[in-house]
Structure 1
Amino acid sequence: MTPLIAFFLGIAVAALAAPILRRALRWRERNREYTAESETQASSISQMYHLAIQGSPTGIAVMERSGHVTLSNARAHDMSVVHDGTVNPEVWAVAEEVFDDQEEHILALALPQRATGSRIRNVRAVIKPLTLTQNSYAVVYVTDESENVRMENARRDFVANVSHELKTPVGGMALLAEALMEDPTDADMVTYFGGKLQKEAHRMGEMITDLISLSKLQGAEALPDMSPVRVDEIIDDAIERNHVGAENRSIELIRGERTGLRVMGDRPLLTAAVSNLVSNAVNYSPDGKPVSITQKVVRGNVLYLRVTDRGIGIAPEDQKRVFERFYRVDKARSRSTGGTGLGLAIVKHVVANHGGNIKLWSRPGTGSTFTIELPIFDPEQAAERAELERAAAESEAAGEPAVTAKGQPKSGTNTPVRNVMRRVKANK
Structure 2
Amino acid sequence: MIDKNMTDDPDVSDRSDHLKRELFQKTALLSGLLRSVPDLVFFKDTDGVFLSCNEMFAQCIGKPVSEIIGQTSHDLFDRNRADFFRSNDKRVLETGQSSKSVEWIDCASGDRILLETYKTPILTEENELIGVVGVGRDITERKHAEDELQDKKNELFQIVNGSPIPAFVINKDHNIIYWNRACEKATGIKAHEVIGTRDSWMAFYKEERPVLADLVVDNSLENIDKLYENNKLTPSFVEGGYQAEAFFPLLNKWILLTAAPIRDHNNDIMGAIETLQDITISKQAEKAILDAKMLAENTSRTKSEFLCNMNHELRTPLNLILGYADLLLAQETGQLNEEQKHFTEIIKFAGSRFLDLVDSLIYIAEIEEGKMELDIEMFSLPAMMSDVKRMLGPNAFKKGVKLEFDIDTHVSVVYADKSKIKTMLHHLISNGIKFTPAGGTVSVIVRQNESNDLHMIVKDNGIGISEEDQKRLYNAFVQLDGSLNRKFEGTGLGLSIVKKFVEVHGGHIDLESDPGKGSTFEVILPLSDQEPDNSMNSICDYSSFPGEH
The one of the two structures with greater contact order (alpha-carbon pairs below 8 A, sep at least 6) is 1
TM > 0.5 fold call: no
More strand by share: 2
Which TM-score applies when normalising by structure 1?
Answer: 0.41
Higher Cα Rg: structure 1 or 2?
2
User: TM-score if structure 2 supplies the norm length?
Assistant: 0.33
- Structure whose residues are more often helix by fraction: 1
